[in-house]
Amino acid sequence: PSVTQDTEWIKPGKISWDWWSTLNVYGVDFKAGVNTDTYKYFIDFASKYGIEYILLDEGWSAGTWNIKEAIPELNIPELVRYGKERNVGLVLWTLWNPLDKDLEGILDIYEKWGIKGIKVDFMQRSDQYIVNFYERVGKAAMDRKLLVDFHGSFKPSGLQKRYPNVMTFEGVLGLEHDKDSRDINPVHDLILPFTRMFTRLLSGPMDYTPGAVNNATAEDFYINFVHPISLGTRAHQAALYVVYESSLQMLADSPSNYYKAPEFASFISRIPTTWDDTKAITAKIGEQLVIARKNGKNWYLAGLTDWNARSIEVKLNFLEADKYKMEVFKDGVNADVYASDFKTEEVIVSKGDSINVTMAKGGGWAAILTPIE
Residue 121 is a catalytic residue: yes
Cα-based distances in Å from 31 to 10, 25, 82, 195: 35, 9, 19, 42
User: Which H or E run contains 155?
Assistant: none
Dist. CA 353–CA 316, nearest whole Å: 5
Among residues 18, 170, 176, 341, the one annotated as catalytic is 176
248-251 sheet: strands from edge to edge: 166-169, 147-150, 117-121, 89-95, 53-56, 13-16, 248-251
Does 341 participate in catalysis according to the annotation?
no
Angle between helical axes of 234-243 and 262-269 (0-180°, round to 10): 10
Q: Which of 121, 245, 253, 341 is catalytic?
A: 121
Cβ atoms 120, 137 nearer than 8 A: yes
* Distance in angstroms (rounded) separating the CA atoms of residues 202 and 221: 35
**CB burial of residue 29 (10 Å; 0-12, 13-18, 19+):** exposed
Q: Cα–Cα distance between 141 and 120 in angstroms, integer?
A: 11
Q: Which amino acid is at 175?
A: L
Active site residues: 121, 176
